[in-house]
Amino acid sequence: MSGILLIALAGTLWSLDTLIRYPLVGKGVNPVLIVFYEHVILCLLFFLPYAFSLFKRLKDLNWKDIFSFFVIGGLGSAIATVAFTEAFVSINPTLVILLQKFQPVIAITLASVVLKEKIDKNFLLLAGISLLGAVLISFPDFSELMRLEIDLGESSKLRAYLLVMLSVVIWGSATVFGKRLSMRGFETKEIMAGRYVLGFIFLLPFMKYQKEAFLLPENIDYIKVTLMVLVSGALGMWVYYKGMLKLSAKNTAVAEMFFPLVAVIVNWIFLGQSLNFIQILGGLLLIFGSYTIHMKKY
């Protein structure tokens, strides 16, 4: 399977995650607690043995390797998720979703600076078309945005905007440094082990200051939570990193734009939220731009 299809498949698995995650948040479960248990389950079930093998290789890692693991794990899997979820519950989710569209811009820029990937005008044009498509897919959010009053003068809201932008910068960086690790010859299971184990370690201080107990509420379906973790956290990320092996970091960033398209399709199928003409047009532009980049090998 081609890299772009693998990334699109990963986006599909991530979007299915929302069918369980958002109802949990709706029941009042702290998002940080959900993310913490994702890391606990993944570390215990899958990645601790590979983390030990990485630890044994510590003396062979250079500082760039260590920093790359720090970015994808400590920052990407822990800090960015906490920042994003806190912003998500502090300001209107519409603004959070729209601001997140800047993530491919960060990844493409860093791919040029860190990995020295060539960014020519043809790629930029097609990436711009893909980004426009991703934005149009979120057109209903713009309609809601026009009715919102964005108050940057209120310190708590300004802090929330800064948090979501922090998460966007970190996740865009994680794409680039994850690609760097794959270029260095690290296996997918090793990259994922470093991601989730470091994420778990960096989440511990956040859990210390949570008012809730470490246990999930009694009325939570643990089977559904475990299924969510296995689908999005294990299988979704495994497919994502397999796709990244076949793509450059900049092309991976473009392929990641499929996530909003898949998300609205999932909402259409499972939640009955119909698609309008502008969203369909956005989807076609996204497919055209990303497919052309793939075929022309820009």
Task: Reply yes or no on whether the pLDDT at 155 is more than 70.
Answer: no
DSSP secondary structure letters along 180-217: HHHHTT--HHHHHHHHHHHHHHHHHHHHHT-SS-SSPP
Determine contact, residues 156/90, Cβ cutoff 8 Å: yes
Question: Measured between alpha carbons, how far is 99 from 150 in angstroms, rounded to an integer?
Answer: 13
* pLDDT > 80? residue 98: no
Q: Given this model, what pLDDT does residue 239 score?
A: 94
Site of tokens 């698995």: 13
**Between 152 and 224, whose confidence is greater?**
224
* Burial per residue of 202-228, b for 16 or more beta-carbon CB atoms within 10 angstroms, e otherwise: bbeebeeeeeeeeebeeebeeeebeeb
Q: What is the mean pLDDT of residues 62-83?
A: 92
Residue 13 and residue 231 in contact, taking contact as beta carbons nearer than 8 Å = yes
Give pTM, 2 decimals: 0.84
Q: Strand ranges (DSSP E) for the chain?
A: none
Does the pLDDT value for residue 284 go beyond 70? yes
Residue 220, pLDDT > 80, answer no
DSSP symbol at 79: I
- The token pair at 130 is 């893909």
**Any idea where the domains of the chain sit in the sequence?**
3-296
Residue reference for tokens 């993310």: 35
pLDDT of residue 66: 92
Q: What pLDDT is attached to residue 97? A: 67
* pLDDT digit string, tens, across residues 230-257: 888 889 999 999 999 999 999 999 888 8
Name the residue with tokens 């932008």.
165
- Alpha carbons 176 and 250: distance in angstroms, whole number: 8
3-state helix vs strand vs coil in the chain, percent to 5: 80, 0, 20
Q: How far apart are CA 290 and CA 165, in angstroms?
A: 24
Specify the DSSP class assigned to residue 221. Answer: -
> DSSP readout, 252-290?
HHHHTTHHHHHHHHHHHHHH-----HHHHHHHHHHHHHH
Q: What confidence tens digit (pLDDT) does each residue in 102-152 have?
A: 888 899 999 999 999 999 899 999 999 988 888 887 766 555 555 555 554
Q: Compare 26 and 64 and report the one with higher pLDDT.
A: 64
